[in-house]
Amino acid sequence: MMNYQNQINWYSLEQKIGTRMEERRKHNPIDKDKITENPSTLPYAHNVSSAVIFPDDKEKIKSTAMTAMAEQTNTQMKQIYDQMELLISQANKLKSRVEISEQIYKSEMGFKPLIGHTYFFYKRDNGRDLLSMIAPDQWGRMGGFKTFVAKAKLLSDHTWEIID
């Protein structure tokens, strides 16, 4: 067991060491402007073994981001433009089918056309239109009508598609 005298010596030794540490903290040979309590907040490496820190070139980062943004938006705009062209093309084909269908439905036909079947559209000598099941090469000696206009197929939406 430790006696009282040893306890006092131990206590005084701790006080001396503590006092010296305190003095060392108060007396720092390095300039106060060049030290920090939190070295991780410094914008540069704080000792020799620290990683090298290069400052960011903010203008280069912005320029790269703007270039990438412009490229992406241009790509998306081209996709939208291509889709618009496709929709315009489809709308024009539909408009053409409607116009042809109206012309065929205004013509003379002696039968009820069936969906999915092919028929032949003629213009008679008197200027009137006719829809027929007989192809131009099937008329034989009887001859045909003045002008063969088109070969057409009735679609399921009851519009007509011209077949080449």
Per residue in 26-79, pLDDT (tens digit) is 665 666 666 667 777 777 777 777 777 777 788 888 999 999 999 999 999 999
Q: What is the pLDDT of residue 156?
A: 92
- Tell me which amino acid residue 160 is: W
Q: In sequence order, what are the residues at sequence separation of 6 or more whose Cβ sits closer than 8 angstroms to the Cβ of residue 162?
A: 100, 150, 151, 152
Residues in the chain: 164
Measured at the CA of 104, the angle between CA 98 and CA 106, to 5 degrees, comes to: 105
Quick one: pLDDT band at residue 117, thresholds 50, 70, 90?
Answer: very high
Give CA–CA dist 77/74, Å, rounded. Answer: 5
The token pair that represents 86 in the structure block: 């496709």
Other C-beta atoms lying within 10 Å of the C-beta of residue 150: 16
Report the candidate in 150, 142, 47, 25 with the shortest Cα–Cα distance to residue 100: 150
